[in-house]
Chains A and B, each alone.
Chain A
Amino acid sequence: MSIFRNPVDLQQFRSRVQAELAGRRSREARILVGMGTCGIAAGASEVADALRAELSARQVQATVAGVGCIGMCVREPLVDILLPGRPRVTYANVKPGMAGQIVAEHLVNGQVIAKSTLAQMSEDGLPPESGIPTYQQLPFYEKQVRIAMRNCGMIDPEAIEEYIAADGYLGLAKALSMQPDEVIEEMKDSGLRGRGGAGFLTGVKWEFCRRARGNPKYVICNADEGDPGAFMDRSVLEGDPHCLLEGMAIAAYAIGAQEGYIYCRAEYPLAITRLEKAIAQAHGLGLLGADILGSGFSFELHVKEGAGAFVCGEETALIASIEGRRGEPRPRPPFPAVSGLWNCPSNVNNVKSYGMTPQIVLHGADWFSGIGTEKSTGTAVFALTGNIKNTGLIEVPMGITLREIIYDVGGGIPKKKQFKAVQTGGPLGGCLPESALDTPVDFDSLTEAGATMGSGGMIVVDQDTCMVEFARYFLTFASAESCGKCVPCRIGGQRLLEALTRIAAGQGRMEDLAEIEYISQNMKEASICALGQLTPGPVMASLRFFRQEYEAHIREQFCPSGVCQGLFSLEINAVECPGCGLCLKACPEDAIHGEKKQPHIIDQLKCIQCGACYDVCNLGAIHPVHKTETHPAGTEAAVVSERE
C-alpha cells in the first residue's frame, strides 16, 4: 500500500476496504475471539487454539481472528461466529472443550447452540436467529451508548483497514480541512470535559495551549491508568488504538504541535504492543509523519512506558517521568499548557478524551452535546467491579443514575446480599450510600453528593464489606504511592492510616475521628497535587455516610460486617438454619456441630472467625455478632457484652 496523498485517497481506500469486508462477510465464515487482557486471562488464547485445531481437523474453512473487549468481562472468553447471510452470534464463557461442538453444530450444520450463547448482533438485511436475544435486548447493553468504545470488540485492533472502514481517520481529514481555531471552537461547543476525572473543558485547554508562546509544542496522552479497579483506558488502548492516534493528531493540529507522547503504564504490555503496531501502520499510510493527507501538517508520535508510580497519573509528574526524572509533581501554575514537557507548551489529556475527539469532529459538536446533560455532555465510561453481577466495562450517557447503572446495567448485587456502597473515582474518590443512588452520574452531581467522577472506576460493595477496612485499604494504597515531596501528603497519609489501623484493630479512640477530619482538611488544602489533596477522600466520604460503623469499632469493639479480625463472633441463627451441613463441612476447625436438618451451632471456643462458614451459607443464616468471650471486667466492651 502506498501513502495517502490527499483526503480522496483515504476515501477511496475506505470504500475499497468496506467493499472487501462486506464481500468477506458474505462469503467467508469467521470466528472472532475477544483477546483483551481480560479475555486472555480467562483463557481466550487456548480457546482460539482449540477452535483452529477443530477447524483443520474437520477441514472447515473459516478464519479465526482476535478482537478487543466488548466489556462483558464476567462472561469471557467470548467467541463470535459470523456465517455468510446469518447474524453475528456471541458465545459466552467458552471453554476449549466446547470448540468441537461449536464447529460441528454451528459452523458445519448451521445450528446455533442457543443455550451457550450470550446474544446476537442485529445486522441490516439479515434475518435474526430465533431464541437468542439481541445485544440491545440485554439489560447490560440496553442503556449503553458507545462513543469511546464504539469499535472495541467490533474491529480487529491490529488492522488499520478495519478502523478506516469504520470511518476511521475521517475526523482527522475533516479537521485538516478546517482552521485550527475552528477545530478548537467545535471542541468547546461540544462541551467535552476531560475524562481523566478533573472535568476541565477540553476545548478550553487546547485554546490555552494554542495561545501559549513557545515552540515546539507537545500533545501528551495520559494513559497511566493507575486506579486499582479501573481498566477503561486499557480497553480502549487494546481494543481501538487508532482512535487515540487520530484524536491526538487532531489535537496536535489544533494547538500547533508536531510531536506527541503517549505515556502508558508498564503494566499494560498488550496495550503498548498494539499502540506501537498502530503507529507503524498509520505511518505506512501517511496518516502520521510528514505532510499528512497533503495538508502540510506533520505529526510524530512516541510511546513512553511508565515504570510503576501511581503519582505519574498527575500531569506534572507524568511530564517529569517522560523527561526521565523521578515522577514528582510540581506546583501549578504554570500549567503544562504554558510550560510543560521540556518547559514547552504541552497539552495533556486522558485516553478517552482523545478517543472521543474524532467522533466529535466528524459528527459535530451538536451531535455530541445532544447526548448526556447540559453541563456534562456525552458519555461516561466505567469499569464496573466489586460485588456486582455483571462486572465489566460500560459506556453510558451522562445523567444516568447510579441506581440504573448498578441494578439495570450491572444486574444488581449477587448472592441475595444487600447493597452497601458504591465507590467512584478510585482511591482518590469517595463512596456513596444507598440513599444517594438516585444521583445522576455527571461531574457536578457526583461531586456535590460527596464522591467524584474520577476517571471511571466504579466499585460496588455489599453488606460484607467493612467501610472502615475499605477506607483503610484505599489509604494504604494512596499513602504508599505518595511521592514524599510535600509534607501534608507524606505525613498526613501516614497519620490517617495509623488512625484507621487502630480503629480497625478495635483500639481506636473517639478523638481519632476528630483527628482524621482535621488531618484530612489540611491535606486537602495544603498538598501540592491532586494525589495528596484527594487521598483523604475515601475516608472522609465513608466517615460522612457510615459514621455508625466507625463508632461501633471504637465504642463496642465490634465490626458489624464481620471483617475486622477479633472484633466479632459468628453465630448461626437457629430459626434461619435448616441444618444443611454446608457450614459444618467448610469449617477448618471442626467448630460447628449439629444433627442433619437441625439448626447447627458454632463452638465459640474453637472458632477462629475465618469466615468459611459465612461464605458457604446460601441462606444467610450466619451472622457476625458482638464478641461472646468474656472481656476484662470494667472495660467498655465488657459492659456492652454484659448488656447483651
Chain B
Amino acid sequence: MAVPAMDLAPLDRILEDFKDQKGAVIPILQRAQEAFGYLPREALLAISKGTGISASRLYGVATFYAQFRLTRRGRHLVKVCDGTACHVRGAAKIVEGIEEALNVKPGGSDPDFKYSMEIVYCLGSCGLAPIAVVDDKVYGQTESAALIEQLQKLE
C-alpha cells in the first residue's frame, strides 16, 4: 500500500496560535494530534523546527503523557473505564466482549482501522459505573452486548 506524503499544512496555524506563549508544548501537541489523529514523526519534526524545541524533548513529552499517540488510530475510539468503581462493577467483561466481537485489543486497533480501544482510569462518572466512551459519547451502566451492538452500528 502506497503511503501518501503527509500534508503538514494544519501545523502552520497551530504554531502561529501559540507563537508567543510560554510553555505551550502540550497544547501544541494536543492540537496537532487533533489535526492528524495521532502524532506522526513528520509532524513532531516540523513542530521542532517551528518552535526551536528539540525533537528529543518533544518526543519526551509525547511519550510521557497518556493522551499522546505515536501510531495511527481507528476511526472510532472506544474508551473503557477500568477505574475503581467500574472495575468493581465488571469493566473487564466489557473489554473481553469488545475484544472478541470486534477483533481489537486494548491499546490497539482492528486490522481495518475502524475501531481502537483504550483502557482509561476513571472518567469521573463513577456513580454510573461501568462507563464506556465511544468517540465523545458517554455510555453509563454499560452492558457488554448493548455496547457492542452500538459499536457495530457505527459507519
Contact = CB atoms under 8 A, between A and B. Distances in A.
Nearest to B57: A325
Interface in B1-59: 22-27, 29-30
A231 B126 contact: yes
Contact of B23 (A42, A322, A465): A322
B126 to A, nearest CB: 4
Contacts of A308: 65-68
Given A41-B140, A268-B124, A387-B88, A229 B23 contact: no
B84 interface: yes
A624 to B, nearest CB: 17
Interface in A315-329: 321-328
A74 B124 CA distance: 13
A593 B151 CA distance: 36
A34 to B, nearest CB: 11
A324 B127 CA distance: 33
B88 A461 contact: yes
B125 A41 contact: yes
A423 B87 CA distance: 14
B65 to A, nearest CB: 4
B65 A228 contact: no
Contact of B127 (A267, A323, A325, A391): A391
B55 to A, nearest CB: 15
By CB atoms of chain A within 10 A, which of B67, B84, B87 has the most? B84
A459 B125 contact: no
Chain B interface size, under 10 / 10 to 19 / 20 to 34 / 35 or more: 35 or more
Contacts of B65: 306-309, 327
B121 interface: yes
Contact of A227 (B26, B27, B122, B131): B122
A37 interface: yes
A475 B3 CA distance: 42
Interface residues of A, number: 55
A259 to B, nearest CB: 11
B148 interface: no
Contact of B126 (A229, A322, A323, A325): A229
B122 A229 contact: yes
B97 to A, nearest CB: 13
B96 to A, nearest CB: 11
A306 B141 CA distance: 27
A321 B124 CA distance: 21
A306 B26 CA distance: 8
A266 B129 contact: no
B27 A305 contact: yes
Given A226-B122, A308-B67, A323-B23, A74 B127 contact: yes
A540 B39 CA distance: 40
List 7 tightest A-B contacts by C-beta distance, closest first.
Answer: A73-B127, A228-B83, A308-B66, A324-B25, A307-B65, A231-B124, A229-B84
15 contacts: A38-B140, A41-B128, A41-B131, A73-B126, A228-B87, A228-B121, A230-B124, A231-B125, A269-B136, A309-B65, A325-B23, A325-B25, A385-B85, A386-B84, A387-B88
